Amino acid sequence: MIAVRPPGDKSISHRALLIAGVADGVSTLRHLGDGADVWSTIGVVRTLGATVDVVEGPTGIDATVTPSVAPDAVGLLDCGNSGTTARLALGLLAGLGVGARLDGDGSLRGRPMRRVVYPLQAMGARIDHEGEADRLPVTVHPRATGALRTLRHRPRVASAQVKSAILLAGVLDGVAVEVREPARSRDHTERMLAACGAPVERREEGEGAVAAFEPGSWSGALRPLDLEIPGDPSSAAFMIGAALVNGRPIRIEAVSDNPTRNGVLEVLEEMGAAVSRENETISGGEPVCTWIVEPPDRLRSFDLGGTRIAGLIDELPLLAVLAARSVGRSSIRDAAELRVKESDRIAWLARNLTRIGVTVTERPDGLDIEGTSARLAGRVESGGDHRIEMAFGVLAAAPASDIEQEGRGCAAVSYPRFWEDLRAVTTWTE
């Protein structure tokens, strides 16, 4: 059976670098993701004054991060294509009281920032939009005196980026914060801050969760990190998809099995795949293991919606292309957030699937997709979005596909070895 080791988890990599940059000592981070987004965060942490020494290995980056006291204001933080970098950096700056200007590429400039800026302003941070409200570039002003205000936030939509920005602001300035979410977004920030000694807690409440920081008598010093970053389940999902559409089993090694990230496996099981786990362990407060996924004779359709969406939001492009190769009609609902990712993913999925001959209905918050075993042929585009490019890369590598991808090249935002690994999975023989 082919075995793939996915790149280091992108979400955990961003958090590890940002937290290491403000910790109370030197951190050692191994197997960080090596996509362009993680490099954006390395650049941000360096601009904030920390020293980040990197060694690039064949499957990821090892880094030693030496923090230094940030000045009152730094220059431009270029977040590239990375929404997580921009939103978490806003929380970090607000908590440190450091001024900076934040900007990103054309895609990131089109994404909503108010969801982070408003709660941070409510805490007392001074943040201005330079142009259009709700968009980058923004300027964070230095906070010379005074503390932030405590905040209890109840966002309408669950977002780990919003939650993380508020937690970072609260922890770095030592003010209590609480975020109550309607669904369970990824909880890496809570786990990592707690592992560094900060009194951060998370509890599940109904279908959602509450994350809270209460300083109490905590010293305010974050213990440095010594971490091996687990593999990225969102990158791994594409390799599993490629194996399934080709009727092959696959092993995914050293992957994050965090329950707020592994929702895709449950859907694959509903589609008929058999999933098992080996080598289960905890590393740096995160569950890690090997996933073994075996294909069914034919994939079945699925119906997805409600609070499950938060736990597999980044896997929806992959699930949508698998739906096109399954038996029956699949539906995705309650996923309007997909419209404000690196591209409008609902629109790009509908457009591309239609172009190659799949029957699709676009909904405001999702898609209906008719599975087919007919030949799929035509030209697709990625819309500059790494996950759209990888999803159609998987479909193009399935049997009875004659799909041409225009302007390939953005997979490297999260998964630089994507095309190499895809070839290995689809050409592998026992």
**Shortest Å distance, C-beta 313 to ligand S3P:** 5
User: What CA–CA distance (Å, rounded) separates 237 from 315?
Assistant: 7
Q: Which of 11, 13, 107, 352 binds ligand S3P (CB under 6 A)?
A: 11
Q: Which of residues 235-274 bind ligand S3P (CB under 6 A)?
A: none
Q: Classify residue 68 by burial, with Cβ atoms within 10 Å: 0-12, 13-18, 19+.
A: exposed
Compute CA 69 distance to the chain's CA centroid, rounded to the nearest angstrom.
Answer: 28
Q: Which of residues 52-111 bind ligand S3P (CB under 6 A)?
A: 84
**313 is an interface residue for ligand S3P by CB under 6 A:** yes
Give the DSSP letter string of 83-125: HHHHHHHHHHHHHHT-EEEEE--HHHHTS--HHHHHHHHHTT-
Cβ nearer to ligand S3P, comparing 114 with 423: 114
**159 is an interface residue for ligand S3P by CB under 6 A:** yes
- Number of residues engaging ligand S3P in binding (CB under 6 A): 10
Cβ nearer to ligand S3P, comparing 249 with 416: 416
Cis amide leading into 137 (omega within 30): yes
Give the DSSP letter string of 311-329: GGGGGHHHHHHHHHTSBSE
Cβ nearer to ligand S3P, comparing 256 with 326: 256
The Cα diameter of the chain in Å comes to: 66
Cβ nearer to ligand S3P, comparing 342 with 396: 342
Q: Which of 13, 40, 41, 161 binds ligand S3P (CB under 6 A)?
A: 161
Q: Which of 105, 232, 314, 381 binds ligand S3P (CB under 6 A)?
A: 314
**Shortest Å distance, C-beta 184 to ligand S3P:** 11
Q: What is the DSSP letter of 337?
A: G
Instruction: Establish whether 314 is a catalytic residue.
Output: yes
Let me know: does 382 contact 396? Beta carbons within 8 Å: no
Stretch that binds ligand S3P, among 66-74, 156-164, 214-222, 291-299 (CB under 6 A): 156-164
Q: Which of 31, 186, 202, 251 binds ligand S3P (CB under 6 A)?
A: 186
Cβ nearer to ligand S3P, comparing 185 with 301: 185
**Shortest Å distance, C-beta 116 to ligand S3P:** 9
Stretch that binds ligand S3P, among 25-33, 160-168, 277-285, 297-305 (CB under 6 A): 160-168
Q: What are residue 52's DSSP bridge partners?
A: 65
Q: What are residue 376's DSSP bridge partners?
A: 401
Catalytic residue among 34, 173, 314, 421: 314
Cβ nearer to ligand S3P, comparing 12 with 403: 12
Give me the numbers of helices (H) and strands (E) for the chain, helices first please. 13, 22
Let me know: does 205 contact 154? Beta carbons within 8 Å: no
**343 is an interface residue for ligand S3P by CB under 6 A:** no
**Shortest Å distance, C-beta 250 to ligand S3P:** 23
**190 is an interface residue for ligand S3P by CB under 6 A:** no
20-55 in b/e form (b: 16+ CB < 10 A) is bbbbeebbebbbbbbbbbbbbbbbbbebbbbebeee
Q: What three-state secondary structure class fits 428?
A: coil
Cβ nearer to ligand S3P, comparing 127 with 403: 127
**Shortest Å distance, C-beta 114 to ligand S3P:** 13
Q: Which residues are catalytic?
A: 314
Where along the sequence are the contacts to ligand S3P (CB under 6 A)? Answer: 11, 84, 159-161, 164, 185-186, 313-314
